[in-house]
């Protein structure tokens, strides 16, 4: 019987594991991919918006070469976190289900693709980066359509359509254009998203203004074909030649997964999961939410820097709720 199983080895999951370790709880982290899987899948040359001190966890300093750390520096930092705290993590193991052991939900069995584990408490720290917001148009399944961006090299000399107008879309449009792609943007609104990073927005606006990057505003993608894309613009349908579609349309929590576990979802615009804001406990006793998954569709509300305390809140709730064996009793065993 574990006292705590944490699903997800991202920054929030690691925070929960550190707090569990600090209080002597018998815990285990289960991660379906690599350590900090979402950060690993960020663009290769990405730089964080936050400074390194605002990303620090577990009393381990985050040393970066610049004011804002890079993806590579972040991966190294979280590797050091796992090593310093000797965190117990099972990588490449996917959670598949959760079943209560009795009617009172005093404990659960966590089912994975490799094993089953009994536990008194569960933390879901799965983030939202796994489920892209699909456009729902014909041709979206073509291999030329990417919802994740890695680096600019594959798109050199290619005709690229970037869908979106927020930070990721502007970053991708600029980086691929600088490396030699012919870039067009399809933007649903009338302008670039107002909250685009302050050092990026003037750059992308100037590239659009001078015509280096062509932008269609108040425009949506109508259809994607093997060698072209059909756009719905204010002037009607426009078909342009195209090699790649980079759909930077954002992401959302895996609602199917949450509901399969039995976690209730509010019927509001943000579709936030149901949880106690004081303890982060969901409608399932002993099952908690940590990190950005709490925000539902409002994915710009929570970040690494303003969720670092989630582990402390959850572990304190577990200890106060006495859903663990007394430490003295466990030592006697």
Look at the chain and report how many structural domains it folds into.
Answer: 2
How do strand 220-224 and strand 228-233 relate by DSSP bridges? Answer: antiparallel
Query: Which of 247, 277, 310 marks a domain boundary?
Result: 247
Task: Name the phi and psi angles at 154, rounded to 5.
Answer: -65, -15
Tell whether 298 and 202 lie within a shared domain: no
Q: Is 196 helix (H, G, I), strand (E, B) or coil?
A: coil
Is 231 buried (19+), middle (13-18) or exposed (0-12) by CB count in 10 A?
A: buried
Query: Which of 247, 273, 288 marks a domain boundary?
Result: 247
Q: Count CB-CB contacts under 10 A for residue 282.
A: 22
CB 84 within 8 A of CB 58: yes
Tell whether 242 and 158 lie within a shared domain: yes
Structure tokens that stand for 323 in this block:
């859903």
DSSP label of 258: H
pLDDT tens-digit map of 280-308: 999 999 999 999 999 999 988 999 999 99
pLDDT over 80 at 258, yes or no:
yes
Residue 96: in which H helix or E strand, if any?
strand 95-100
Lowest-pLDDT choice from 151-155, 187-191, 326-330 = 326-330
Tell whether 120 and 12 lie within a shared domain: yes
Domain that holds residue 182: 134-247
pTM: 0.90
Tell whether 119 and 166 lie within a shared domain: no
As a whole number of angstroms, the distance between CA 6 and CA 14 comes to 9
pLDDT tens-digit map of 169-214: 999 999 999 999 999 999 999 999 998 988 899 999 999 999 999 9
If you average pLDDT over every residue of the chain, what do you get? 94
Query: Which of 222, 247, 272 marks a domain boundary?
Result: 247
Tell whether 140 and 127 lie within a shared domain: no
């Amino acid at each position: 019987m574990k006292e705590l199983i944490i699903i997800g080895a991202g920054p929030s999951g690691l925070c929960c594991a550190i707090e569990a370790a600090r209080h002597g709880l018998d815990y285990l982290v289960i991660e379906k991919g690599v350590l900090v899987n979402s950060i690993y899948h960020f663009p290769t040359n990405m730089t964080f918006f936050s400074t390194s001190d605002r990303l620090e966890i577990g009393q381990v300093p985050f040393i970066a070469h610049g004011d804002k750390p890079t993806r590579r520096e972040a991966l190294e930092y979280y590797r050091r976190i796992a090593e310093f705290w000797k965190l117990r993590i099972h990588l490449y193991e996917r959670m598949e289900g959760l079943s209560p052991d009795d009617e009172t939900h005093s404990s659960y069995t966590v089912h994975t693709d490799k094993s089953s584990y009994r536990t008194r408490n569960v933390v879901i720290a799965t983030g939202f980066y796994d489920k892209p917001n699909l456009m729902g148009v014909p041709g979206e399944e073509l291999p030329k359509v990417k919802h994740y961006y890695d680096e600019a090299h594959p798109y050199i000399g290619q005709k690229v359509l970037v869908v979106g107008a927020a930070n990721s879309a502007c970053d991708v449009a600029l980086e691929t254009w600088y490396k030699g792609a012919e870039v067009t943007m399809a933007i649903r609104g009338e302008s670039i998203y107002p909250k685009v990073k302050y050092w990026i927005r003037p750059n992308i606006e100037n590239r659009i203004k001078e015509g280096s990057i062509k932008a269609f505003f108040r425009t949506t993608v109508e259809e994607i074909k093997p060698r072209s894309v059909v756009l719905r613009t204010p002037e009607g349908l426009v078909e342009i030649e195209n090699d790649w579609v980079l759909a930077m349309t954002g992401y959302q929590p895996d609602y199917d997964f949450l509901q399969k576990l039995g976690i209730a979802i509010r019927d509001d615009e943000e579709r936030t999961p149901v949880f106690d804001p004081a303890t982060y406990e969901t409608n399932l006793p002993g099952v908690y939410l940590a990190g950005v998954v709490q925000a539902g569709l409002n994915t710009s509300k929570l970040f690494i820097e303003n969720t670092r305390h989630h582990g402390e809140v959850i572990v304190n709730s577990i200890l106060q709720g006495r859903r663990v064996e007394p430490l003295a009793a466990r030592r006697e065993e």
